[in-house]
Amino acid sequence: MTPRSSQETGVLANVRLAGGAAADIVMRDSLIAEIATAPTLETDGATRIEGEGMLVLPGLVDGHMHLDKALAGLPWMPHPAGPTRLSRIETEKSLRGDLPPVQERAANLARQCVAHGTTAIRSHVDIDPDNELTHFHALMEVREMLAGILDLQIVAFPQSGVLRAPGTSGLLEAALTEGADVLGGLDPIAIDNDLDGQLDTLFDIAERCDTGIDIHLHDAGADGLAEINALCERTRACGLAGRVTVSHGFCLGSAAPDEFERTAEAMAAVGVSLATHGGAASPLPPVKALRERGVEVFAGNDNVRDTWSPFGNGDMLERAMLLAWRSGFRTDEDLEVALECASAAGARVLGLEGYGLSVGNRADLFTVDAETPGEAVAQRPRRGVVVKGGRVVAREGEFADASGT
């Protein structure tokens, strides 16, 4: 291997691969150039990043987040939200004027996620006639601020509904025109009381803007199943196969066996994926059963210490643990399923090119003080370094700038 300049080459040295082998990972021009399981000899001038013998894993992917709602960096605030979805929507709106700017709070949480090993996030952002595009513009600023440190995908999300909040559809389309990546939706029956009306609106916008859809579906029972099956049929009819996600899909966790089979088959047939946060308040969609039927299941933190929930710290290994715990996973093989939901599965849905610990892929990695991936999920040990595009962006659980300082 010929010597390379420190500006181009870094070596994440003395790490262990998931199979147990010791390795040095050579990174050049933001990519993995070599994974050497014998000592690298000719790296004069390269920047050495000490791995301390820790396990190295691909960067974590948070596939469902609400950065604009975060209270990160603020003193503790008693949780004010009411018991229903609509009460939480209204409570949040009433508090907006008393909080620091969205950009500040969202960036605080994003940096916290990076420090835990996350290198990509899909965040929904509230858009409604009162807020208009204010929160969206704030997240666009955060995306620019953290460019090269975090891949941030933005979903234009109608938190107050689509039809019950006149003017929202135009705002959603405006956000997509200005740079939002994905179109959101929310409980067509419970919130808008019009399944066909909301889906007509969303798919019309998606076709005009050539974008995918990620729709929150919390509704239980027959309503939730009707929503998912209608979504699958629209996905097929509109040619959006592989570009639509159901977020939550709680109804799948309590569906009768025949209803589950029919709905999972419909999702798999058109590539409708499922995002889950593994929360305990609602039935958990069966992760392994969905995967076995061909449905891509990935994970996200959802609400992290905000006006909707006092819980969470942005750590996707903790989220993987909660998903595994609620799923009854105990073997290392099953724990690795939960880890994949928090990493590679999310990368596939988000369309992250060059993801994974292989030569030629992006050097988006982190080290964790664990013997195996299963231990990393079950115990959530300390993180060593987080590397994005070949540069250290966090050390020992603390955010660093892209130069590693």
Give me the DSSP letters along 123-158. EEEE-BTTTBTHHHHHHHHHHHHTTTT-EEEEEEE-
CATH code for the domain defined by 9-58+355-399:
2.30.40.10
Q: What is the pLDDT of residues 79-125, one digit of tens each?
A: 877 777 777 777 777 777 778 999 999 999 999 999 999 999 999 99
The segment(s) of the chain belonging to CATH 2.30.40.10 are 9-58+355-399
CA atoms within 13 A on the CB side of 266: 22
The candidate with the shortest Cα–Cα distance to 389, out of 150, 213, 182, is 150
Amino acid at 124: H
Reported for 221-224, long-range contacts at CB under 8 A and 24+ positions apart, including other chains, are 221/251, 221/254, 223/189, 223/190, 223/251, 224/249, 224/250, 224/251, 224/252
Q: What is the pLDDT of residue 307?
A: 86
Q: What is the pLDDT of residue 402?
A: 55
- The matching CATH number, chosen from 3.40.50.261, 2.40.50.140, 3.20.20.140, 3.90.850.10, for 60-350 is 3.20.20.140
Helix (H) or strand (E) holding 121: strand 118-126
Q: What is the pLDDT of residues 233-251, one digit of tens each?
A: 999 999 999 999 999 999 9
> Which pair of structure tokens corresponds to residue 384?
């060593």
Q: Which residues contact 124 (CB under 8 A, 6 or more apart)?
A: 64, 65, 66, 155, 157, 184, 214, 216
Q: What is the pLDDT of residue 404?
A: 45
Rounded distance between C-alpha atoms, residue 374 and residue 368, angstroms: 12
Rounded distance between C-alpha atoms, residue 393 and residue 405, angstroms: 8
Q: What is the pLDDT of residue 87?
A: 76
The segment(s) of the chain belonging to CATH 3.20.20.140 are 60-350
Q: What is the pLDDT of residues 60-77, one digit of tens each?
A: 999 999 999 999 999 998
Q: What is the pLDDT of residue 43?
A: 60
pLDDT-above-70 percentage for the chain: 95
* 405 residues of the chain, pLDDT tens digit each: 333 333 468 999 999 999 999 999 999 999 999 999 876 555 667 889 999 999 999 999 999 999 999 999 999 988 877 777 777 777 777 777 778 999 999 999 999 999 999 999 999 999 999 999 999 999 999 999 999 999 999 999 999 999 999 999 999 999 999 999 999 999 999 999 999 999 999 999 999 999 999 999 999 999 999 999 999 999 999 999 999 999 999 999 999 999 999 999 999 999 999 999 998 888 999 999 999 999 999 999 999 999 888 899 999 999 999 999 999 999 999 999 999 999 999 999 999 999 999 999 999 999 999 999 999 999 999 999 999 999 999 999 999 965 444
Rounded distance between C-alpha atoms, residue 156 and residue 143, angstroms: 14
Q: What is the pLDDT of residue 42?
A: 57
Q: What is the pLDDT of residue 94?
A: 72
Tell me the average pLDDT of the chain. Answer: 93
Q: What is the pLDDT of residue 405?
A: 46
